[in-house]
Amino acid sequence: MLSPKKVLHRKMFKGRLTGVAFRGSSMSFGDFGLKAIDCGKMSARQIEAARIAVNRKIKRGGKVWIRVFPDKPITKKPAETRMGKGKGSPEYWVAQIHPGKMIFELAGVDEELAIRALTLAGNKLPFATKVVSRRDMI
Residue 43 has pLDDT above 90, yes or no: yes
Residue 75 burial (10 A CB sphere; 0-12, 13-18, 19+): middle
3-state secondary structure string across 25-46: CCCCCCCEEEEECCCEEEEHHH
Residue 128 has pLDDT above 90, yes or no: yes
pLDDT (0 to 100) of residue 138: 60
Whether pTM exceeds 0.75: yes
Residue 61 has pLDDT above 90, yes or no: no
C-alpha angle 64/7/89, rounded to 5°? 105
For the chain, domain boundaries: 39-74+91-137
Residue 54 has pLDDT above 70, yes or no: yes
pLDDT (0 to 100) of residue 60: 78
For 39-74+91-137, CATH number out of 1.10.3720.10, 3.30.750.80, 3.40.50.2300, 3.90.1170.10 equals: 3.90.1170.10
